[in-house]
Amino acid sequence: MKNILKIEKLEKIYGLRGNVYKALDGVNFDVYEGEFLGIMGPSGAGKSTLLNIISTIDKPTSGSVVINGQNIVNMKKNELSKFRRDKLGFVFQEYNLLDTLTVKENIALPLSLANVSYREINRRVKEVSNNLEIVDILDKFPYEISGGQRQRAAAARAIIADPALILADEPTGALDSRSSETLLSTLKNINENMNVTVLMVTHDPFAASYCKRILFIKDGRIFNEIVKGEDERKKFFTRILDVLAVLEGDIGNVI
């Protein structure tokens, strides 16, 4: 299977002299095409730091990050913008959509930025919105549609440019349980039916149970890994809770 993300000996040290803090301490892992990888861990474990580095909006202290065969660590700022535009998709916790743009304009944005022709934009928007069942709301503004529709529109935007990898940092953090569920099934849907690779950071076991594989990190190191395999989602959920219980035993607190 094709390797999408390869992380080796990743370190991130915050602070200068005296007050140094190792947020990431030698992280290694791989993500392959079609995976739905979850990253869990207590607060302060280094999850966001890791995701920001993969998102190219932060730089590691040492180590390498190879996405789709390209090492992003030594890229220049402008190259990174272009790389983000062409290779990565994002699902944010909030501000999913620009409120001044219609749904269609929002979804088209990554392609517009990449200077794709209007014909191609139109074709892709149609295709993606068909898949996510948002054709009817394309000309509406974000405030005119429901929370679930907004999430789907945001997911559509994340995948429209055919990214190698979709990144989501605590995407359900600010949502009520119903909206969380819609978003998660949307992610699951695009992962399974459109073969999109997804990497999601979360501390919510319910959200994590949608993943196919989960890495647990603590104090900047990988601590454990579990794979869903042939399990039902409910069964996987209990297994996650078990691992978290061990973590809890360790630090006395699960976030």
Partner 1 sequence: MLFKLIKRNIRRSFRDYVIYFGTLILSIAIFYVFNSLDSQPAWSGDEYPQAKIVISSLMGGLSFIISFIVGFLILYANNYIIKRRKKEIGLYMLLGMSQKKVSFMLLSETIIIGFLSYVVGIIIGIFVSQIFSLITMKFFDIAINKIEFVLSYPAVIKTLIFYGITFSLVAVFGSFGVSRFKLIDLLMGERKNEEFKIRKKAVVAIIFVLSCIDLFLTYYFADYVASRLLVSPQSIFAIIFGGSLGTYGLFYSGFSMIFGVIKSMIKFYFSKINAFLSRQLLNRFNTDMGMLATLTVLFTLTLSVFISGLGLKNYIESSVESNSPFSFNITVYENAEKIKQEFDEAAYRLGKDYLKDSLMVRSFRSDIRIKSISPDKEYFGNSELLRNYLNDNFYIMLQSDFNKLIKAKNIGEEELTGNEALLYVPDGSKDFKEYLENELSFNRKLFLGDSQIEIKKIFPQHKIGNFMVFGSCALIIPDKFDYITQGYKTIWNIDFNFKTGYPSEIDKEFQKISDQYELRMNTLKEAKANASMSRVLVIFVILYLGITLLIASAAVMALKELTGAIDSKKNYQMLSKLGADDRLIKGTIKKHMRFYFFIPLLVAFFHNIFAVNFITKFLNAFNAQNTFLITLIAMGVFLGVYLIYYYITSRMAIRIIVKEE
Ligand X SMILES: Nc1ncnc2c1ncn2[C@@H]1O[C@H](COP(=O)(O)OP(=O)(O)O)[C@@H](O)[C@H]1O
Which residues bind to ligand X, rule: CB under 6 A?
Answer: 14-15, 21, 23, 41, 43-49
Q: How far is the CB of 235 from ligand X (least distance, A)?
A: 26
- Which position has the token pair 């030698």? 26
Q: Confirm or reject binding of residue 185 to Mg ion (CB under 5 A).
A: no
CB-based contacts of 27, cutoff 8 Å, min separation 6: 7, 9, 10, 11, 46, 50, 63, 217, 220, 221, 222
CA gyration radius, the chain: 18
55: partner contacted, choices Mg ion, partner 1, ligand X, none (Cβ within 5-8 A by kind): partner 1
Residue type at 213 in one-letter notation: R
Q: Judged by CB under 8 A, how many residues of this single chain contact partner 1?
A: 37
CB-count exposure of residue 198 (10 Å: 0-12, 13-18, 19+): buried
CB closer to ligand X out of 13 and 145: 13
Q: Which of residues 34-73 bind Mg ion (CB under 5 A)?
A: 48
44: partner contacted, choices partner 1, ligand X, Mg ion, none (Cβ within 5-8 A by kind): ligand X
Dist. CA 108–CA 118, nearest whole Å: 9
The one among 9, 99, 127, 130 contacting partner 1 by CB under 8 A: 99
The one among 100, 177, 193, 253 contacting partner 1 by CB under 8 A: 100
Q: How far is the CB of 139 from ligand X (least distance, A)?
A: 37
Dist. CA 63–CA 9, nearest whole Å: 5
CB closer to Mg ion out of 154 and 201: 201
Render 150-211 in DSSP notation, one character per residue: HHHHHHHHHHHT--SEEEEESTTTTS-HHHHHHHHHHHHHHHHHS---EEEE-S-HHHHTTS
Q: How far is the CB of 113 from ligand X (least distance, A)?
A: 27
Candidates 4-12, 16-24, 67-75, 83-91; binding stretch for partner 1 (CB under 8 A): 83-91
The binding site for Mg ion (CB under 5 A) comprises 48
The binding site for partner 1 (CB under 8 A) comprises 55, 57, 77-78, 81-86, 88, 90, 92, 94-95, 97-101, 105, 108-115, 117-118, 121, 141-143, 150, 157
